[in-house]
Amino acid sequence: MKIEFYRHSLEQSDIDNVCNTLKSIFLTTGPVTLEFEKRFCEHTGIKHTVALNSCTAALHLALLALNIGPGDEVITTPMTFIATATAIMHTGATPVFVDVEPTTGLMNTNLVEQAITPRTKAILPVHLYGTMVDMKELRTIADRHSLKIVEDCAHCIEGERDGIRPGQLGDAACYSFYATKNLTCGEGGALCTNDGCMAEKVNILKLHGMSKDAASRYSGKYKHWDMVLEGWKYNMSDILAALMVNQIARLEGNLERREAISTRYDRGFNDQVGIELPKIIGKSARHLYTIWVNADRRDSILHAFQDKGVGVAVNYRAVHILTFFRDKFGFHPDDFPVAHDIGRRTITLPLYPGLLDEEVENVIDVACKVCG
């Protein structure tokens, strides 16, 4: 038996769309990217989408567009992928971690206010595994202290909590279209915002700080471009956008399948000794299905899954215990004990629309044997 950790669900229509783009004149950012941005706006309900080459780029540019830089602090969570924290550092600002909730692994909003200093400029929550942070609470805190919010939505296109969707209360929402994400082009990302000025600035920052992109230089008589800001090379190509335009319409159907798989897992692990499940609040995007096991046995359990042909991953070990962060900031594991503990207990199981019911049952059987 071999059950991959992830299999994508691209369809022939996605591949045809890429082929059509390859036969067109435009390979870089052009009409297909604009079409993707339009459809993503319709799906998210957010006014502006800027397609980029990663979520890391989106986080970086969101912070830059908010004028965050050296000397500033941004509050975030250590229970995330490293890019959340390194994007803050790319601007020259300092990531300030607050610990997470023991039941969800999400940023503990009760700890945010005590981390605010005169240098704090923004809060960067992560909608971990697809469950949203309490955005109403976080917006109240941010407003009380005149702070901005940049949401890391790498796991959460489809989520909703208290009637709020990603990007609705934040100043910017940053998405990932990395190879294993719910919407994917292998490598890609997007920044969504309701703020037209921010979208305009990010459109310039994403392409060297140039005043005109290739598509607008191509149409009509030659017009000179200017460089108006120091920018980066973060734009998305039409080839990659073509892979995604049709996927957007399948997001909700794919979520339903992941929900059904998650419910099957939940039932299989109900009352199972040695397996704890993170609490889901509201509508989760069901991006990752993680279980929390005995910390001392986690690595041997991981290997036991692999020996039995089940693909697994760890999302994540807490960021503050990684060598670079320990060396740079002098962190100790106990600085954020809840994140550290979760990071020592986490195992992510396969979860994707193409996973068959019998494969899910196999994963449950293996999990109950190796964790019990």
Ligand X SMILES: Cc1ncc(COP(=O)(O)O)c(C=O)c1O
Residues that bind ligand X (CB under 6 A): 54-56, 80-81, 83-84, 126, 152, 154-155, 176, 178, 189
Helix (H) / strand (E) containing 362: helix 357-371
Closest separation between CB of residue 287 and ligand X, Å? 8
CA dist 83 and 364 (Å) reads: 31
Catalytic residue among 121, 181, 201, 206: 181
CA dist 337 and 285 (Å) reads: 27
Closest separation between CB of residue 74 and ligand X, Å? 14
**Please, which residue, 152 or 366, has the CB nearer to ligand X?**
152
Q: Which amino acid is at 102?
A: P
Eight-state DSSP code of residue 210: B
Nearest Cα residue to 70 out of 89, 96, 54, 51: 89
**Please, which residue, 349 or 364, has the CB nearer to ligand X?**
349
**Please, which residue, 55 or 65, has the CB nearer to ligand X?**
55
201 in catalytic set = no
Can you spell out the DSSP letters for 76-99? E-SSS-HHHHHHHHHTT-EEEE--
Closest separation between CB of residue 216 and ligand X, Å? 26
Decide if 99 contacts 108 (C-beta within 8 A). yes
**Please, which residue, 206 or 366, has the CB nearer to ligand X?**
206
Closest separation between CB of residue 243 and ligand X, Å? 14
CA dist 72 and 114 (Å) reads: 16
**Please, which residue, 56 or 290, has the CB nearer to ligand X?**
56
SS3 279: coil
**Please, which residue, 180 or 211, has the CB nearer to ligand X?**
180
Q: Is the CA virtual torsion 226, 229, 231, 236 positive or negative?
A: negative
Closest separation between CB of residue 235 and ligand X, Å? 14
Q: Say what the alpha-carbon torsion angle 247, 253, 259, 260 is, to the nearest 10 degrees.
A: -130
CA dist 142 and 139 (Å) reads: 5
**How many CB atoms are closer than 10 A to CB 246?**
16
Cβ contacts of 218 within 8 Å, gap of 6 or more = 26, 30
Closest separation between CB of residue 131 and ligand X, Å? 12
Which residues does the annotation mark as catalytic? 181
